[in-house]
Structure 1
Amino acid sequence: MELRHFKYFTAVAEQGGFTKAANMLFVSQPTLSQQIRALERELGVSLFLRAPDGVRLTAAGEVFHGHAEAVLRMVDEAARATRRAGAEPNTLRIGWSPPIPRALHVPIASAFSAVYPQVRLSWQETTLPDPEGPLLDGDVDVALLRLPVDVERVLWEPIADEPCGLAVPDGHPLAELESVGVTEILDEPMPNVGDAVPESMKRWWLLPGSRNGEYPKAVGEPVATVTELALSVVLNGVVCPAPYLYVKTAAVHGFHAVELRDGPCSSTGVARRRDDRRALPRLFCELAARVTAELRT
């Protein structure tokens, strides 16, 4: 049984006769009839009831018709997927939101380039106010992102954990502590996070979920970047949750990094768009997960 048998059979079934099907397929009617008879002999059943006014499917023909259509759809999708893969550009655009824990982007990139040397890697920094925006907008193909992400639109797999941190200005009573619990900071004023920051990100930074939906007292002018948040902490004497590495490596002096116990998850993950069916983004994410898993062992 060959692919042409599925095509010939489906054409006869849909056209209701051999003459119309032969014209559609650009084959002679005798050739088409011979191929259908050969298919029936191989299956050991009659697929059509032949009559002067055309043909109808037998019960066996009805069953085979459903399977034949499914086979042709799968073959068509396989061809399209293969063409898409062959037509993919040789550049993979990677978004990253530094600092990355343990500089994991370096071994990930090295491993990917070793396996796919023909693919050029292009890096784009993505940060506040909207670190996942470039991925969702199609400006990058994959991204190394911290939570939160839009799980309905993004496939995200964690590759590195880090504690949640708290930026505390010098001289603040909490500045001398190594760690503090979330419940101990709920009454503290925090930076005025501006409307340019997505709501999901605001909720991460300002913890309304721990105050029955209430936001903290906001102090200062609206801010939208990591540096602006850090300056607000220093200049306005407020505290602000953040991934611990953000707090430790911020290019602003005048505050301490304190671990925030029970704070929001600040894991870093590798991400791609759910609607992106291309091979390269999927292969990068799969390799990144494998590389980081091996480094943990």
Structure 2
Amino acid sequence: MIELRHLRYAVAVAEEGHITRAAARLGIQQPPLSQQIRALEAAIGAPLFRRQPRGVELTAAGRAFVGKARAILRDADLAVEAARRASRGQEGQLAIGFTSSAAFHPFVTGVMREMRERAPAITLSLEEASTGELIAAVEADRLDAAFVRAPGERLENDHASARRGDGGRIAGPSSARPQGHPPADFAGLARRRAADPLPPSDRARPL
């Protein structure tokens, strides 16, 4: 079976043009590297390198293989980084609701702007609706959070919420309860949603 390490071995040998130098770069001994390259060539069914007195050079098959190997290794690195960003709440998707009166409020626009600046890889899906519809959407797990203006009693009983100075609120799952300021909460929510989506019952608890 060809593994990622075999791709790294082949790329290193191709770039160094010498198995001993490639082994030093990879932090392994030269004999095991030579064995791995031979095993790789056997698995492929074609020689990848032409042995020379002072090194190696790629064959036609080797050039084709190494070109694809580089692309695969780049994709693997990108996949690892994407997973790390998602675990930190820096990548993913959030569905955010707002009332028409909240859409252009400086608080709301400031939160959304800072969210995009701090976590640009998070895709925001925005929905405008009435307060009642937004609360129902959060309860039904169709929205991750919502900017609403509503009587405090319903939000206190049914939702994690953050009170604003002008009476407005941010309603959302209890995992997103404010820790400083809202943009950080949304990043934390994205992190939770990517790792372990919250059931509706866990998204309707008071602070």
User: One-letter code of the match for 2:69?
Assistant: A
Matched-pair contact (CA < 8 Å) for 1:46–1:61:
yes
- 2:3 is matched with 2
User: One-letter code of the match for 1:73?
Assistant: R
**3-state SS, counterpart of residue 137 of structure 1:** helix
- 1:137 is matched with 114
CA distance, structure 2, for counterparts of residue 154 and residue 81 of structure 1 = 11
- 1:58 is matched with 59
Cα shift at 1:81: 2.0
Identity across the alignment (%): 38
- 1:244 is matched with none
CA offsets 1:170-203 (integer angstroms, 9 cap, x no match): xxxxxxxxxxxxxxxxxxxxxxxxxxxxxxxxxx
TM-score by length of 2: 0.52
CA offsets 1:188-240 (integer angstroms, 9 cap, x no match): xxxxxxxxxxxxxxxxxxxxxxxxxxxxxxxxxxxxxxxxxxxxxxxxxxxxx
- 2:105 is matched with 128
Matched-pair contact (CA < 8 Å) for 2:98–2:127:
no
Matched-pair contact (CA < 8 Å) for 2:97–2:127:
no
TM-score by length of 1: 0.38
Query: What is the CA RMSD across the aligned residues, in angstroms?
Result: 4.5
Candidates 280, 287, 291, aligned match of 2:190: 280
- 1:82 is matched with 83
- 1:13 is matched with 14
Q: Which runs of 5+ in 1 are unaligned?
A: 101-124, 143-152, 163-276, 288-297
Distance change (3 Å), C-alpha of 1:88 and 1:38: same
Of structures 1 and 2, the one scoring higher in RCO (CA 8 A, sep 6+) is 1
Matched-pair contact (CA < 8 Å) for 1:5–1:39:
yes
Matches within 5 A, 1:21-60: 21-60=22-61
CA distance, structure 1, for counterparts of residue 54 and residue 38 of structure 2 = 19
CA distance, structure 2, for counterparts of residue 5 and residue 280 of structure 1 = 35
Distance change (3 Å), C-alpha of 1:71 and 1:87: same
CA offsets 1:8-44 (integer angstroms, 9 cap, x no match): 1111011111011000111111100000000000100
Q: Which runs of 5+ in 2 are unaligned?
A: 131-186, 198-207
Matches within 5 A, 1:90-105: 97-98=98-99
Cα shift at 1:50: 1.1
Matched-pair contact (CA < 8 Å) for 2:47–2:59:
yes
Q: Whose radius of gyration is greater, 1 or 2?
A: 1
